[in-house]
Structure 1
């Protein structure tokens, strides 16, 4: 009645970019919520550490190594998830990277790398998750990683910003397409979340001296401005993945301490 048929088997999620940072926190939170989880990154050793954390919570876990900008990897990941864990109810297309360069200095290879890593990967995860959820006929939840830099520009990160704006548009299109199937599609748009990715020592020192200072500069935030941990994002994803979130779709929800308000 609300986008999920209630079945006796456990709900199952895929989280990409799950070996560290926000993806790691999302995967653990979904395990706490009772989901079995496929976790993906390019690093098997790091994934195995996360897998042990999930098993300790009593949930099944499938580590899946691969580059999700490769269509065959994503197709295989969804197929293996269904084979091993039985189904797919939640896709979290979290994996991504950043390229630091002014537009006037941008190398096309760096631009294309960011487009593939951040945008093509999300499209592919959306595509194959949607196909599986439509086949199951029981609704589902699809989520992608945007950013407050998907709502406003910043210096030296044009490729990253372009992908995060594009993910919002892609998400709205898919939300419309999948509405008849009771599959919701949303993005989470964090502000400055302190992770390994935001810990850029030399640049942080140049812009205020503390972890996250350079990222805050890019986002137009002073060094003493707001930041948070990955738990903030994981909490939002946890709710959006639940059956009761059936009335939220096509949205890009910001959690940034009030930097961008809409």
Structure 2
């Protein structure tokens, strides 16, 4: 049976890199992001289908577009249904979509709190649960190609281990992802589903450009200088790149090598946080 994955928030940055790595590891991939990012989704699909065409004279279904809002359970259910129809049984869900607004707690509006938690926590919950329902309905017979377990993988952050000033609600949302990952792992083990999360540090992506600007305003730095200042304290000597995260997710967590790992949130941050 072919390996089929969905990656949410995959039109750019870390999600895009994870989707690329999964394609290289033999997965067909459903590319999700909000409908407004449809052009970027299409670009990633073209890139991945080129990878698969190069790897196989008769390529698998390849990459398909799954636009939708992860904070909506009906959108996620539709994503899963479309992925299965177009690609085949779902074997991996990567709940990567998230946002990282920079707002001091005393300036955080109810609307912003709801938005952050809606995407970062409820979005992961929706992806975990809708994918798990599909995987359970498929049974073990859908597994193959050396993979013996279904896999759910979610996006946490170094902020899930150490809260950062200016990013209080974001930090809280990522702590929640750790807890949700542990709880889901405990409940899904009997269904032959592992559940793990990845915790990136400072990664050069469009999202971090926004964080850099927001923290810079609070701490009095010009644009670009916060990334530079924070990167100096990384033990391995540099900020991360999306491929660093994709190596953990696509190279390990999505492979049979992680079959005996569940309930973990793995840091990939160059040593910012020791755990």
Scaled by the length of structure 2, the TM-score of the pair is 0.86
Q: Find the counterpart in structure 2 of residue 101 from structure 1.
A: 103
Q: Find the counterpart in structure 2 of residue 3 from structure 1.
A: none
Q: Find the counterpart in structure 1 of residue 43 from structure 2.
A: 49
**CA distance in structure 1 between the aligned counterparts of 2:81 and 2:213, rounded to whole angstroms:** 42
Scaled by the length of structure 1, the TM-score of the pair is 0.90
- Is 1:10 paired with 2:23? no
Please list every run of 5 or more consecutive structure 2 residues that lacks an aligned counterpart in the other structure. Answer: 53-59, 141-148
Q: Find the counterpart in structure 2 of residue 39 from structure 1.
A: 31
- Is 1:242 paired with 2:255? yes
Q: Find the counterpart in structure 2 of residue 186 from structure 1.
A: 196
Q: Find the counterpart in structure 1 of residue 240 from structure 2.
A: 228
Q: Provide the secondary structure at the position in 2 that maps to 1:231.
A: helix
What is the CA distance between 1:207 and its match in structure 2? Answer: 6.0
Give yes or no for contact 1:207–1:223 (8 Å, CA) kept in 2.
no
1:43-65 per-residue CA deviation (whole Å, 9 max, x = no partner) reads 11100000000110125111111
**CA distance in structure 2 between the aligned counterparts of 1:192 and 1:261, rounded to whole angstroms:** 15
What is the CA distance between 1:224 and its match in structure 2? Answer: 5.7
Give yes or no for contact 1:192–1:216 (8 Å, CA) kept in 2.
no
**CA distance in structure 1 between the aligned counterparts of 2:204 and 2:154, rounded to whole angstroms:** 19
Give yes or no for contact 2:231–2:239 (8 Å, CA) kept in 1.
no
Q: Find the counterpart in structure 2 of residue 259 from structure 1.
A: 272
Give yes or no for contact 1:210–1:223 (8 Å, CA) kept in 2.
no
Of 146, 151, 165, 1:141 maps to 151
Greater per-residue helix proportion: 2
Compared with structure 1, are the counterparts of its residues 113 and 216 closer, same or farther at alpha carbon in structure 2 (3 Å cutoff)? farther
Large movers: runs of 4+ above 2 Å: 200-211, 213-217, 221-226
**CA distance in structure 2 between the aligned counterparts of 1:202 and 1:56, rounded to whole angstroms:** 35
What is the CA distance between 1:131 and its match in structure 2? Answer: 0.6
**Alpha-carbon RMSD:** 1.8
Q: Find the counterpart in structure 1 of residue 13 from structure 2.
A: 21
Please list every run of 5 or more consecutive structure 1 residues that lacks an aligned counterpart in the other structure. Answer: 1-8
**CA distance in structure 1 between the aligned counterparts of 2:21 and 2:223, rounded to whole angstroms:** 28
- Is 1:63 paired with 2:65? yes
